[in-house]
Structure 1
Amino acid sequence: MGRRDYENDPNAPTANSLVPAASAIVVDDSGRILLQRRRDNDMWALPGGAMNIGESLPECAVRETREETGFDVEIIGIVGTYTNPRHVFAYDDGEVRQEFSICFLARPVAGRLAVSEESTDVRWFQPAEVDALPMVPSIRKRVNDWRDGNAPAAR
């Protein structure tokens, strides 16, 4: 399924669903960040997605990271809360989603790189390498918030 992101775009379609979601900035002991290249928009992104009934937002971030990258992680902080009502995702099936998203800081505890049904590539990057990657503005903002020190430091 394809997806198009709209942020602060006056021509964006009106949201027809509101979804709680979580993402994770996963940082290894070398200070590298884990990213996936999304299949639906061909952009680099943090692992993350919609929360399921019966799970907490931190559990969602851990599950999504495992599913999308192959790594089990431990949540060690919160990068931020992202709730811009002028940021929507339009899907091919007609859903236009506004998300309430918490971005967590995490560290890997087990696993290995693995591509999922939702990704075409999964890699570790030095923080400075991220600037050259194709990425939607909302994900870049989360990465920049972390890099600029607006988030807890990785241990």
Structure 2
Amino acid sequence: MKMEGEERMEYIQEIRSKIGTRPLIIVGSTVLVHDEQERVLFQLRSDTEEWGLPGGAMEPGESLEETAGRELWEETGLQASEFTLLGTLSGEEFYFQYPNGDEVYNVIAVFRADQTKGKLSVSNAESEALRFFSIDALPSPLDERAKLVLEAVNT
């Protein structure tokens, strides 16, 4: 049984009501989207005001690839015909504390989106802007997790 976005938030809020802001291990997917000039798509996150990569937490019953597809659609308005798994990242360096105090250790499956289609659009409150950047001219301020992902997959 897959949960919709609102149900997913209720699921996480229920867990948070029991443990407070203590660290959770969160599994999710991050998606690398390249344009014709091989630039990478970034989103300006509304919660941290930093540029990050599209992606997010897995919903109960969802595969990592399904998470990548859903997050890509929700955060960018794009769909991919195929996803290529580039690696899975975890460890102490993927600790993150949200502005509200919630703490997480991320386990991130990194996918490359192949043959994307759709109209690039900011469609939810998680993003303020979407823009492609060259690896040689990354945006600032850059989310530390995005930097680690790019270094790990040698984009």
Deviates more, 1:15-24 or 1:79-88: 79-88
2:110 pairs with 1:89:
no
- Partner residue of 1:121? 129
* Structure 2 spans left out of the alignment, 5+ residues: 1-20
Aligned-partner Cα distance in 1 for 2:102–2:140: 27
- Partner residue of 1:53? 60
* Structure 1 spans left out of the alignment, 5+ residues: 1-13, 150-155
Alpha-carbon RMSD across the aligned residues, in angstroms, is: 2.1
Deviations 1:51-91 (A, max 9, x none): 00121001101110111111112344222211113532223
2:105 pairs with 1:79:
no
Deviations 1:118-147 (A, max 9, x none): 0110012222221x532122211212333x
Kindly indicate which of the two structures has a greater share of residues assigned to strand: 1
Map of 1:2-151 to 2, 5 A cutoff? 15-115=22-122, 116-130=124-138, 132-146=139-153, 148=154
The normalised TM-score by structure 1 is 0.75
Deviations 1:24-52 (A, max 9, x none): 11113331211100000011111000000
**In percent, how many aligned pairs have the same letter?**
31
Kindly indicate which of the two structures has a greater share of residues assigned to helix: 2
Aligned-partner Cα distance in 1 for 2:135–2:142: 14
Deviations 1:97-137 (A, max 9, x none): 1111111111242111211210110012222221x532122
